[in-house]
Structure formats: structure tokens, C-alpha cells
Structure 1
Amino acid sequence: MITAPTAPSFPRVSLNCDMGEGYYRWRLGPDEQLFPLIEYANIACGLHAGDHATMLRMVRLAKQHNVGIGAHPGLDDIKGFGRRKLDVTAEEVYSLALYQLGALKAMVDAEGAVMSHVKPHGMLYFILRDSEELCRAFMKAHKSLTGNGEPLPYLGIAGSNHEKVCAEMGVPFVPEVFVDIDYDPKGNLLGVPQSNPCTTEGIKAKVTSLLTTLSTTDKEGNKLKLPGTERHYTICLHSDMPTALQNVTAARAAIDEWKRAGGK
């Protein structure tokens, strides 16, 4: 496995959260309360969730709270919240990505802000993990977005096609780990429907374990070492969880306690 270029602007450990996943007047997550707790926001780009007004509001909130602005493109599947498996071609993945990344970039530019990263949503994330061809198609669109003349960092699964294709195409890569959904015993990330219900105590324990032992636990409760945690990495949480605010608060508390104890 070739290691992709790193993204030095990212800290050793950070929190990212999927944001703006409501739709028009229907707000899904406690976005306003989450922004002060995170370093990076993954803003839904209008196909699996979100809309033009919500996207603009998220960009402004991110700028207000000095939070990194990331694009969170998904499949064209609002009814399924982008978590259903759809058959898509490489050309469709490319156009889906261009459409969504370009929409968010226009809003970011108009607000005098900058984009920090790209992180696909839901089933699209898994599709790109499992298919080199489709991951390359996505990355072709991804490379059309630049920060200071360089491709934006991509948040993904270390050791998977995410990192492999980033390395091939010269895209900076940030390993991402999850604490509110599960991994199977082989270390494969599971979707929300396949995961056990999370608890705030469990989230805090997983984050503390990642920080102190570079390991987490799988769905069955066994210790699990994840690739990428020996480098800088980012921890993802989902704003659509019923206990999203408590989840992110617990993860933030674990990181802050680790830093106060001398963690770097």
C-alpha cells in the first residue's frame, strides 16, 4: 500500500461532524450547538440532504466559529438519506461529485471563506472504499477543487481504496476513524443500520482508547487496532444521531482531558 501525501494543516487529532443534513424548514441535527465543539464540518451538498439555504447557513456558521469547511457529497437519494446502495457508473460518480463540490465552493467563495477538505457521505463513502474505478472518478472531480493551488485533503479510511487512489492521484489524505458506528472484527467499517446503538459512555471510552492505545473496539467489544491512528487522524461523528450533541460533547471531553494530561 502506497501512503498518500499527508495534510499537514490538520492537527494530530481532530473532530469532524456531518452538518446541515436537514432540508429547508426541517432541521435534523443540533448544528448550531455542535459547531463550537468541532474542528471540521462536513456540509451536505444538496443531494442526500441539505439545500441551498441550509448550505449557506452552514458556511456562515463555520466561518463564525472558525471551523474548517468540508464538502460532504452523497448519492442522489434524499428519500434514503444517501444510505441505500445504488448502482452508479464512473461517469455518474464524476458528475455527482462535480455538481455538489462546485455548489459548495461557490458559496464558500461568495462568503470570503476557504474550503478545508472533502469527505463523501454514507453509501457513496462505502462505494468509493470498495471500487478503485469509482474512487478514481470521484477523485478526478475532487482534484478540480484546490486550496492554494493544491488539491484539498480527502478524509477516508486508511489502507483502503480511499488512500490508495489518493496516493496515485496526488491528493492529500487524512485517516478518519469512527466512534458512533461500529467496525466488524476484521476492521471493516459498518454502516449506521448494521451498528449497535451508541452510548455517550461508549463514545468517550473509544476516543480515550484511541488517544492512549491507538485502538478501539469492534462491534463485539473486542480490542481493534485501526490503521492510520499512528499518524494524525480525525474522528467523525454524525449529527443525525438522536444523541448527537451528547456524543460530540463526550468525544470533545475525552480529547480535552487527554490534552490536559499532556497528550499531543
Structure 2
Amino acid sequence: MKLDGIGAIVTGGASGLGAASARELAAAGARVAVLDMNRDAAEAMAQEIGGVAVAADVADPDAAEAAIAEAEAAHGTARLLVNCAGIADAGRIVGRDGPMDLGAFEKVIRVNLLGTFNMMRLAAHRMSLAEPLEDGDRGAVVNTASIAAYEGQIGQSAYAASKGAIVALTLPAAREFARTGIRVNAIAPGIFLTPMVSAMPQELQDALAAGIPYPARLGDPAEFARTVRYIAETQYLNAETIRLDGAVRLQPK
């Protein structure tokens, strides 16, 4: 898919991996809608890249549909959806105070999994109604999983479950959408220097980096963004989850 001139939506696009992806896609010529819960931050990012800001809870069907329609009104049908919105709340299944609150588990699943699915179903429907591009593509979806999908640590039960489901969703979604020329892939990032990590003490950041085989550093969000671009531009890449982690494998805790 040629990115120049196409409409794209990046969820969680105001910070971290989403912001890096929005910048990369805009630099490639895409017309980017920055979707985020934080409208002010989304507007600041949209202004930086020459895009448009839309605010929505990705797991809210009505709000998400309205945001996609708003993006479409500005840029035409979104041919690329990049799902970066997510949370990483931690907690043991059975802790010192008893079993995990079911609402805490549900919250992570709602944002990470249901939000991803909700945005994908709505965006893919609109893609399927559009005319094919010159290469035959109607669109592409890039979802964000995590290496926790494979090696979830103690305390990551909700997060690992949500990301594991995104990995499992990739193949059946790609198979279903194949008839309409829509590709579905995912990226499973390792430990990246996102705002959450950068807020940690430097000693802890250094310890995390030291555990990564090579390169022994935290991931740069720009590397994630370039992977998003590679997936979008490479038509033969479909139904795949790419680990982007410096060869690290998470330990139990």
C-alpha cells in the first residue's frame, strides 16, 4: 500500500508508540487522524504533523463510530488503522488482600482487547465499502500486542490475556478480510521507552535495558513506528505478529 495521500487512524496517537506511528505515517504522506482519550494532547499532536484530532473511548461503540466518521469527513475513508491505545494495569490474581477485583481485570480487557476489536470492526467495514487502491488493497490494520502475550509475568494476568487475544485474533481476522483485500497484522513490542517507562527511576530503566540481549537498550518508539510503516507498505505481509524486542524473553517476575 502506498501511504502517500491515504487516510489513516492511529489510536492512542497522542503519546508513546501511537505518537511515533502518527509522525512516521505523516512523514510518509498519509493523512493522519490522531485518536486519543485526551483531546488536548491529540490536538497538539495533530497540529505537529498536519493531521486531525479526534477524541473517543475506543471501546465505546458509538463514540468510536463517531470518531471514525469525523476522520473520514476530513481525510476520506481510512485505509490504515493502527491500534496503539491500551493500558497496563498490574495485579496478582490472588494477592495479599484476596482475589483480584473482577472489575480490574475487566477494565484491561475492555480497553486493550475490546477497544482493538471495536475499532477494527468499524474501520474494516468502511474499508470494505471503498474502491480498491491501485495495488488491489482496500486497507490494512496493524494491532499492538506485546511480548507479554507469550511470556506474561506474575501480576500481568489481565494484560497478558488481552495481548494474547490480540495475537490470536490476527489470523482469523486476516482470513475473513482477505476476500475484501484488507490485511491484518500485529506487532508484539518488548520494553520500549514510552512515557510510562521514562517516568521510572533511571536505575530501573538501566536494569531493564541490561536484561535485553542485543541491543542492550530500551526500544525506541521510532523503531515501532517504522515497523508499522513496513507492514502497511508490504502487501505480502498478512496475518503475522512481529516480535520487536531485542531478543528479550520475560522472566516470571
TM-score bracket relative to the smaller structure: 0.3 to 0.5
Instruction: Kindly name which structure, 1 or 2, has the bigger radius of gyration based on alpha carbons.
Output: 2
TM-score (norm 2): 0.39
